[in-house]
């Protein structure tokens, strides 16, 4: 069987846009500048929608923040969608730093702490999802500086902007290309081919669902009830 032997298929946003317009019945030769402007906006709106739906594994990275004694609040990059797992790194200089997980709390729970300036080993964090000037993460207890400490956290960041210029590609993995094409076509159909919008919406939803099934970590998960409190000596 003859095959290509390559794994490089990664079309640009321009190529996906042409395909999306083909799906709604518009030929490439009929497209005007306004069609492309609408496609660029629709593509970025689609990426924003995906960021709201859940964790895009390809857009997760690890951030390291050097902590300062007595400083409880630190800026978070504006392109952060949400914070996931966080842990403290304690480095006493012996070449064997220790990691300890810390847990998220809500605004209400943080507000309930009577002394927010208490210093000690940090056990919780509050992610304040501000727009301006920056989102922030606030730690409690406040780092005490007893040794070199770092905060490390996994975060979901925004998908990079989708642009048509210079053959720019969309920041999505191979497994999501079909979902992106159908999602883009569904949005463009509302503008340029309303008679096809009702047909394309379920196809777009199905393609998203198929891709989302693969967008998970494969580690096993165990859930067990805490029943020790039911038994008294």
The answer to whether residues 145 and 69 belong to one domain is yes
The answer to whether residues 150 and 80 belong to one domain is yes
The answer to whether residues 138 and 174 belong to one domain is no
State the pairing for strand pair 98-104/142-143. unpaired
The answer to whether residues 78 and 130 belong to one domain is yes
Alpha carbon distance 71, 144 (integer Å): 9
pLDDT category at 226 given cuts 50, 70, 90 is low
pLDDT tens digit sequence for 142-194: 999 877 789 999 999 999 999 999 999 999 999 999 999 999 999 999 999 99
For the question of whether the overall pTM of this predicted structure is more than 0.85, the answer is yes
CB–CB of 125/85 below 8 Å?
no
The answer to whether residues 74 and 148 belong to one domain is yes
The answer to whether residues 19 and 45 belong to one domain is yes
Alpha carbon distance 44, 177 (integer Å): 14
Alpha carbon distance 199, 178 (integer Å): 16
The answer to whether residues 68 and 116 belong to one domain is yes
CB–CB of 122/140 below 8 Å?
yes
Give the 3-state secondary structure of residue 55: coil
């Amino acid at each position: 069987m003859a095959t290509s032997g390559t794994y490089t298929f990664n079309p640009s946003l321009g190529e996906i846009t042409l395909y999306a317009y083909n799906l709604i019945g518009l030929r490439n030769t009929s497209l005007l500048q306004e069609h492309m402007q609408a496609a660029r906006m629709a593509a970025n709106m689609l990426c924003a929608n995906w960021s709201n739906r859940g964790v895009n594994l390809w857009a997760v990275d690890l951030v390291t923040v050097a902590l300062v004694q007595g400083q409880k609040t630190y800026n978070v990059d504006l392109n952060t969608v949400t914070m996931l797992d966080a842990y403290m790194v304690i480095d006493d200089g012996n070449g064997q730093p220790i990691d300890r997980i810390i847990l998220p709390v809500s605004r209400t729970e943080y507000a309930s702490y009577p002394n927010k300036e208490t210093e000690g080993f940090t056990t919780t964090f509050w992610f304040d999802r501000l727009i301006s000037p920056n989102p922030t993460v606030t730690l409690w207890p406040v780092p005490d500086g007893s040794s070199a400490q770092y905060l490390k956290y996994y975060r979901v960041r925004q998908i990079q902007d989708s642009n048509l210029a210079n053959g720019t590609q969309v920041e999505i993995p191979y497994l999501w290309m079909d979902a992106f094409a159908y999602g883009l076509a569904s949005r463009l159909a509302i503008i340029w081919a309303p008679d096809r919008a009702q047909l394309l919406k379920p196809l777009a939803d199905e393609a998203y669902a198929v891709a989302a099934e693969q967008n998970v970590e494969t580690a096993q998960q165990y859930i067990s009830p805490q029943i020790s409190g039911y038994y008294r000596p």
